[in-house]
Chains A and B, each alone.
Chain A
Amino acid sequence: MKYNLPDENGFFGEYGGSFIPEELQKIMNEINVEYNKARKDPEFQKELAYLYQHYVGRPSPLFHAQNLSKKYGAEIYLKREDLNHTGAHKINHCLGEVLLAKRLGKKKVIAETGAGQHGVALATAAALLGLECDIYMGEVDIAKEQPNVIRMKILGTTVVPVKSGQRTLKEAVDECFDAYVKDPVTQLYAIGSVVGPHPFPQMVRDFQSVVGTEVKSQFKTQTGQALPQNLVACVGGGSNAMGLFYPFIDDTSVNMYGVEPAGRGTAVGDHASTITYGKPGIIHGFKCYLLQDENGAPSSVYSVASGLDYPGVGPEHSNLKDIGRVNYFNITDKEAIDAFFELSRIEGIIPAIESSHAVAYAIKLAKQKPGESIVVNLSGRGDKDIDFVIDNYGKQYGIHR
Chain B
Amino acid sequence: MNTLLKNLEAGINNNDCMLMGHVIAGFPDVKTSIEAAKGICSGGASFLEVQFPFSDPNADGPVIENACYTSIENGFTVEDGFKIVRELSSSTKTAIIIMTYANIVFKYGVQSFVKKAKECGASALIVPDLPLDHDEGLMHYATENDMGVILIATPGCDGKRIKDLSEKSFGMLYTVARRGTTGNKTELNAETDEWIQLVKNNSTKPIALGFGIQSKEQTDKLKGVVPIVIAGSYFVTVISKLKQNENVQSELEKASKALF
Contacts and interface: CB of A to CB of B under 8 A. Distances in A.
A298 interface: yes
A183 interface: yes
A283 interface: yes
Interface residues of B, number: 41
A181 B104 contact: no
Contacts of B131: 18-20, 22, 25
Contacts of B152: 21-22
A349 to B, nearest CB: 37
Interface in B145-161: 151-157, 161
Contacts of B61: 178
Given A19-B134, A21-B59, A178-B61, A297 B180 contact: no
A348 to B, nearest CB: 42
Contacts of A17: 134
A26 B107 contact: no
Interface string A5-23: 0000100000001111111
A103 interface: no
B82 to A, nearest CB: 12
Interface of A: 9, 17-23, 25-27, 164-165, 170, 173-174, 177-178, 181-184, 279-285, 287, 290, 292, 294-298
Contacts of B78: 295-296
A178 B181 contact: yes
Contacts of A20: 58, 129, 131
A interface majority secondary structure: mixed
* Residue of B54, B66, B151, B153 with most chain A CB atoms under a 10 A cut-off: B54
Contacts of B55: 170, 297-298
Contacts of B179: 23, 181-184
B176 interface: yes
Interface in B138-181: 151-157, 161, 165, 176, 179-181
Contacts of A295: 76-78, 104, 107
Given A21-B154, A295-B78, A296-B108, A178 B180 contact: yes
Interface of B: 54-56, 58-59, 61-62, 65-66, 69, 72, 76-78, 101-108, 128-132, 134, 151-157, 161, 165, 176, 179-181
Nearest to B104: A296
The 9 A-B pairs at the shortest CB distance, nearest first, are namely A296-B107, A23-B154, A182-B180, A282-B102, A282-B103, A21-B128, A296-B104, A296-B103, A21-B59
Contact of A281 (B77, B103, B154): B103
Contacts of A282: 101-103, 106, 129
Nearest to A165: B69
Nearest to B80: A295
Contact of B58 (A25, A27, A174, A290): A174
* Residue of A20, A279, A281, A295 with most chain B CB atoms under a 10 A cut-off: A295
B72 A297 contact: yes
Given A21-B152, A23-B179, 8 more contacts: A17-B134, A21-B154, A22-B165, A26-B156, A170-B56, A284-B56, A285-B129, A298-B55
A281 B108 CA distance: 10
B65 A164 contact: yes
Given A282-B103, A296-B54, A21 B76 contact: no
Contacts of A181: 58-59, 179-181
B99 to A, nearest CB: 12
19 contacts: A17-B134, A18-B131, A22-B153, A164-B62, A170-B56, A178-B180, A178-B181, A181-B58, A181-B179, A181-B180, A279-B107, A281-B106, A283-B56, A292-B103, A292-B107, A295-B76, A296-B105, A296-B108, A297-B54
* Residue of B62, B107, B151, B176 with most chain A CB atoms under a 10 A cut-off: B107
A218 to B, nearest CB: 40
